[in-house]
Amino acid sequence: MEADSSESAFTWFNRLAETIYSLERFPERGPVTSENKNLRHLLFGKSPNTYRIIYALDKPKNAVNVLHIRHGAGDSLPS
């Protein structure tokens, strides 16, 4: 049983990492967040285990900065 959960966790983490790294090619694909127009977010996973990947674009440096990975059931970002 423990090996199964360990394998599942490894697979989940790799899928999360792939989603984040995909922002290299498509940084503007996530919508702007309702909390801050300078931030964007992607949803990862399926309900009830959905996570928000909140990130900012740094266009002058051609970079994406991941700021938070939050469980979807959590509160919105602090002001």
Q: What is the pLDDT of residues 38-57, one digit of tens each?
A: 999 999 998 888 999 999 99
Q: What's the pTM value of the predicted model, to 2 decimals?
A: 0.81
User: Is the preceding peptide bond at 60 cis, omega within 30 degrees of 0?
Assistant: no
Joined tokens for residue 45: 């996973």
User: Would residue 26 count as lying in a domain?
Assistant: yes
22 and 64 in contact (C-beta within 8 Å)? no
In a domain, 10, yes or no: yes
In a domain, 77, yes or no: no
Q: What is the pLDDT of residue 73?
A: 60
- Name the token pair of 28: 């503007």
Residue 76 lies in a domain: no
pLDDT of the residue at 1: 46
- The total domain count for the chain is 1
Q: Residue ranges of the alpha helices (H) in the chain?
A: 2-21
pLDDT at 70 (0 to 100) = 92
Report if residue 78 sits inside a domain.
no
Structural domain harbouring 61: 2-71
Residue 45 lies in a domain: yes
The answer to whether position 8 is within a domain reads yes
Low-confidence residues of the chain, pLDDT below 50? Answer: 1
